[in-house]
Amino acid sequence: MSTSTPIHVAIIMDGNRRWARKHKLALLLGHRQAAYETIEPLVDRFIEREVLYVTLWAFSTENWQRSKEEVEGLLNLFRETLSKNFEKLHKKGVRLKTIGDIEKFPKDIYQKLINGVEQTKNNEKITVILGLNYGGRDEIIRAVNQHLLNRPLTTDNRPLNAEDIINALDTSGIPDPDLIIRTGGEKRLSGFLLWQSEYSELYFTDVLFPDFSPEELDHALADYASRKRRFGK
């Protein structure tokens, strides 16, 4: 793998609903297009480009605030696609992981996620991490609470340090993203990987996620390769 190739790429998959409106379709069909037509070709290209970790933000902690109809539609889409897509990715040698508080999902969806992670845990081609019921502030709060809960009763009262937080984050054991891509034209992170994005390179594109093709990914990777990373030095 070239040093100009990121080890970990994360994507804020924005623009599904606007894609549906653009094509005069029901909003859920934008999410369906992304799930069925966009993600798998991108994973294939990531494998070709020897990217080792990919994080896809699929559902945020704020998405529960959308209309009941849209939330129920998304949950049903998860039910419909998780098993099918997981099986395809498993055959490609993909290891699946999740970040976010997935226990908040209905039990059947939660179990599908747990089963997919378990089924693919020994795969080594690439690791695909799904951000589900994920929010950066929520993750940090859960990490701090988890650390405090796990402290031995005999511990001293030393302050928390960075290593304590890192070890308690959902991404423990996963390298921080080298590149974060946001599709859909917005130029903000919206709380995505707040801790982990400290030195991530950012790439924003107006392309709506359902139209974010492997060729568009190549443009983002070429832009990344042209940058000189200093990490504050």
- Residue spans per domain, the chain: 8-141+176-225
Report the pLDDT value the prediction gives residue 153, as an integer from 0 to 100.
Answer: 52
Q: What type of residue sits at position 134? A: Y
- For 128, how many CA atoms within 13 A lie in the half-sphere containing its CB? 28
Report the pLDDT value the prediction gives residue 223, as an integer from 0 to 100.
Answer: 97
Q: What is the pLDDT of residues 62-72, one digit of tens each?
A: 999 999 999 99
The catalytically annotated residue of 63, 115, 164, 223 is 63
Mapped onto helix, strand or coil, the DSSP state of residue 100 is: coil
Question: Which homologous superfamily is 8-141+176-225 in?
Answer: Decaprenyl diphosphate synthase-like (3.40.1180.10)
Report the pLDDT value the prediction gives residue 17, as an integer from 0 to 100.
Answer: 97
The catalytically annotated residue of 14, 138, 176, 178 is 14
Burial annotation 52-90 (CB, 10 A radius, 16+ → b, else e)? bbbbbbbbbbeeeeeeeeeeebbeebbeebbeebbeebe
Report the pLDDT value the prediction gives residue 159, as an integer from 0 to 100.
Answer: 79
Residue 108 designated active-site: no
Report the pLDDT value the prediction gives residue 137, as an integer from 0 to 100.
Answer: 97
Question: What is the C-alpha to C-alpha distance for residues 43 and 11, in angstroms, rounded to an integer?
Answer: 12
- Residue ranges of the chain with pLDDT lower than 70? 1-3, 152-156
Report the pLDDT value the prediction gives residue 165, as an integer from 0 to 100.
Answer: 92
Residue 63 designated active-site: yes
Report the pLDDT value the prediction gives residue 155, as an integer from 0 to 100.
Answer: 58
- Model pTM? 0.94
Report the pLDDT value the prediction gives residue 229, as an integer from 0 to 100.
Answer: 83
Report the pLDDT value the prediction gives residue 152, as an integer from 0 to 100.
Answer: 62
CA-nearest of 92, 41, 5 to 211 is 41
Question: What is the C-alpha to C-alpha distance for residues 63 and 146, in angstroms, rounded to an integer?
Answer: 24
